[in-house]
Amino acid sequence: MTAVRRLNGSKARLERVLRGAALAAVAALASAVPAHAAGPASSGVIERIAATVGPEPILMSEVRRSAEIVAKASGNPQPIDDAMLGKELDGLIEREILRQHMRKVGISVSDAEVQDALEGMLGRSGVKPDQIDAMLDKQGLSKEEYRDRIRAELERRRVVDVEVRPRVVVEEADIQKYYAEHKGELSVAERVHLRDIYLPYPPLASAEDKAEVMAKAKEIKASAVADPSIFGNLAKRFSKGPGAEEGGDLGVFERGKLRAELEEAAFALGEGEIGGPVESGGGLHVLQVEEKLAGGAPPLDQVKSSIREKLLATALERTYRRWYERLLEEAHVARKVDLPSEFKLGPTGPVTSGAQPATGGSTATVPDAPKDPVTPAPDDPTAPVP
């Protein structure tokens, strides 16, 4: 129903969380290009380092390439400025921190899982095997880069499932509170599920022509009134309008979505009743109301799962950012260029006070999630969020 579809947008928001808020999307997956994908520097050219994450450098050429790909994929290319470069650098730092943490805790994704995900994504997007190269060329990506993006996405989802999702709790009371406070948003107009048999007038129809069509419409209506169960068969046989092959099924309409003359007739009928003929759209309509749906807020049981998804997405996003920021604080990260940052960190030097750029492995750690769900304190980034 409409209210459920309205809330289903939260799923998309949840997906954005799993990708990481700072990572831009290219074809739903290709965001920043990984370190090894930027290509070797030209002979004799010294690469500038934009940042280091532990022992791993992030090159300025990677940051620029990432921004170029995102700009190209947006469909509305914009000049690459410091704000865009800063966002892409944040994304590359986030990716490297997550990868180092994944290696530390033993999270990996198999080649078979990457292949399954690739095939599934291509199937959903309708891209045929012989169209893959053209699609990637348009995005400026190689097959290896595209597979790497898929692997990174799967790894992110897995680490979020392991590290973040257990910290998030949505209670029944939260769902009931949301429902009570958002009934107006959940409310829908009165609706009607309508079937239609449409008989058009011939071109330049005379009064006699119209009378002949009217007689036929009345004959069809009489048959339908005598046995409403055959309305669909009558529509398949006689209707010249949309949905004829589906028994005249036009779907569900809210008030205000039909032509005035059809709406008046349709909403005056009860479930299963036959109405018309109604003159509209250059012909006559015989109508049947399949179902009438009352307006107002739907029962809680009908939207509970969608509300839960919406609250889960909000809580997961907030908890993920807290979790990642803790990881960021404990990582050895040094920014070497003066670019804007989402995290309001210094443009150069170590992220945490007194820390130095690491020459060994990252020392980032994440506290264990509490075993029992509790309401988090405002300054506790590891507690579950209701």
pLDDT digits (tens, 9 = 90+) for 227-251: 999 999 999 999 999 999 999 999 9
356 part of a folded domain = no
Q: Would you say residue 210 has pLDDT above 60?
A: yes
Residue 294: the pLDDT is 82
378 part of a folded domain = no
The predicted-structure confidence for 290-320, as pLDDT tens digits, reads as follows 999 888 888 899 889 999 999 999 999 899 9
Residue 24: the pLDDT is 34
Does 22 share its domain with 138?
yes
The number of folded domains in the chain is 2
Does 215 share its domain with 161?
no
Does 140 share its domain with 206?
no
Does 247 share its domain with 210?
yes
Contacts of residue 288, defined as CB under 8 A and 6 or more positions apart, other chains included, come to 194, 195, 196, 224, 228, 231, 248, 269, 272, 273, 274, 275
CATH of the domain at 258: 3.10.50.40
120 part of a folded domain = yes
CA 58 remoteness from chain centre: 30
Residue 298: the pLDDT is 84
Does 71 share its domain with 153?
yes
Does 32 share its domain with 118?
yes
Rounded distance, CA 321 to CA 314, Å? Answer: 11
376 part of a folded domain = no
Averaging pLDDT over each range in 34-38, 214-218, 242-246, which range is the top one?
214-218
- Provide the token pair at 216: 């036929």
Does 306 share its domain with 289?
no
Mean pLDDT calculated for residue range 124-136 = 83
Which of 287, 291, 289 has its CA nearest to residue 199?
Answer: 287
Residue 357: the pLDDT is 29
The predicted-structure confidence for 251-278, as pLDDT tens digits, reads as follows 999 988 899 999 999 999 999 999 999 9
Asked whether 64 and 80 are in contact (CB, 8 A), the reply is yes
Which residue would you say has higher pLDDT here, 249 or 68?
249
The predicted-structure confidence for 348-386, as pLDDT tens digits, reads as follows 333 332 233 222 222 222 223 333 222 333 333 223 333
380 part of a folded domain = no
Q: Which of 106-110, 174-178, 191-195 has the lowest mean pLDDT?
A: 106-110
Alpha-helix residue ranges (DSSP H) falling in 205-353? 207-226, 231-238, 260-267, 300-330
Phi-psi region of 296 (alpha: psi -120 to 50; beta: other; left: phi over 0): left
Residue 54 has a CB neighbour count (10 Å cut-off) of 20
377 part of a folded domain = no
Mean pLDDT calculated for residue range 142-153 = 83
pLDDT band at 5 (very low <50, low <70, confident <90, very high): very low
Does 245 share its domain with 103?
no
Q: Which domain holds residue 78?
A: 2-172+302-350
DSSP code per residue over 60-97: HHHHHHHHHHHHHHTSS-----HHHHHHHHHHHHHHHH
Does 11 share its domain with 84?
yes
**Global model pTM greater than 0.85:** no
Residue 130: the pLDDT is 81
Does 14 share its domain with 124?
yes
CA 295 remoteness from chain centre: 27
386 part of a folded domain = no
CATH of the domain at 11: 1.10.4030.10
Residue 287: the pLDDT is 97
Which residue would you say has higher pLDDT here, 370 or 145?
145
Mean pLDDT rounded to a whole number for the chain: 78
Residue 141: the pLDDT is 79
Which residue would you say has higher pLDDT here, 32 or 291?
291
